[in-house]
């Protein structure tokens, strides 16, 4: 149900169009190629080594079990961006999801990251996830702004938690969005006590 509206076309700020579509097993080669073409300093910011076939196989397995919802952005048949929603299907954080977004250098500052992130927030909400978190490094200001526009706020800082390509330690910021509030508003609208109406 959450993925019913895909594939979907998105027009970027420069007028170009990309198509957002759920990752299919047949797309794994294109996804791997996308990650392998990322600059090393970008890949260092990712949690996994996304250049290996083993990683791609494991990723696809989790997509099949719906532990991961992956949306890829395609332009001219190539993957130019990817957003992943991670969730646990059982346990005490089953109401929490985590979003990670990666966009090819040529497609940055065009609104693609925002479109991918917004799409995953909506999917997470449709899946009943109540809280979404995102991890950004303290110098990833554009990424932070993107998520803040989508309602995320700073919830925690892990000082000197990540090390960049130059060996410099940086703070990791956890942003959170309590999307359960969206449905709390709907519940309020359904209260059936509305003196302002009549």
- Name the site residues for other proteins (rule: CB under 8 A): 1-2, 4-5, 122, 125-128, 179, 182-183, 185-194, 197-198
Residue written as token pair 């990322």: 38
**95 vs 169 by CB, closer to other proteins:** 95
**122 vs 170 by CB, closer to other proteins:** 122
CA dist., res. 63 & res. 162, Å (int): 27
CA dihedral over 42, 47, 49, 51, signed as positive or negative: negative
**103 vs 179 by CB, closer to other proteins:** 179
Residue written as token pair 């959450």: 2
φ/ψ of 109, rounded to 5, equals 60, 30
**47 vs 196 by CB, closer to other proteins:** 196
Q: How far is the CB of 182 from other proteins (least distance, A)?
A: 4
CA dist., res. 163 & res. 172, Å (int): 10
Q: How far is the CB of 66 from other proteins (least distance, A)?
A: 14
Q: How far is the CB of 196 from other proteins (least distance, A)?
A: 10
**84 vs 125 by CB, closer to other proteins:** 125
CA dist., res. 88 & res. 86, Å (int): 7
Q: How far is the CB of 121 from other proteins (least distance, A)?
A: 9
- Which among 184, 177, 185, 186 has a CA at the least distance from the CA of 85? 177
3-state SS, residue 70: strand
**36 vs 153 by CB, closer to other proteins:** 153
- Which among 89, 93, 169, 159 has a CA at the least distance from the CA of 131? 93
Q: How far is the CB of 52 from other proteins (least distance, A)?
A: 36
Q: How far is the CB of 158 from other proteins (least distance, A)?
A: 29
Is 8 in contact with 17 (CB distance < 8 Å)? no
């Amino acid at each position: 149900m959450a993925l019913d509206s895909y594939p979907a076309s998105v027009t970027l700020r420069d007028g170009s169009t990309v198509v957002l579509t759920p990752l299919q097993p047949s797309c794994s080669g294109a996804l791997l190629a996308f990650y392998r073409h990322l600059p090393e300093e970008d890949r260092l910011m990712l949690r996994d080594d996304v250049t290996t076939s083993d990683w791609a196989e494991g990723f696809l397995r989790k997509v099949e079990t719906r532990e991961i919802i992956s949306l890829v952005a395609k332009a001219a048949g190539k993957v130019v961006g990817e957003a992943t929603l991670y969730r646990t299907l059982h346990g005490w954080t089953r109401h929490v999801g985590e979003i990670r977004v990666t966009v090819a250098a040529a497609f940055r500052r065009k609104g693609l990251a925002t479109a991918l992130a917004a799409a995953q927030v909506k999917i997470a909400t449709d899946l009943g996830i109540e809280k979404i978190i995102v991890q950004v490094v303290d110098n990833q200001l554009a990424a932070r702004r993107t998520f803040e526009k989508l309602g995320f706020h700073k919830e925690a800082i892990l000082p000197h938690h990540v090390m960049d390509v130059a060996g410099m330690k940086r703070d990791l910021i956890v942003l959170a969005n309590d999307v359960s509030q969206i449905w709390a508003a709907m519940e309020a609208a359904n209260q059936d006590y509305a003196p302002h109406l009549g």
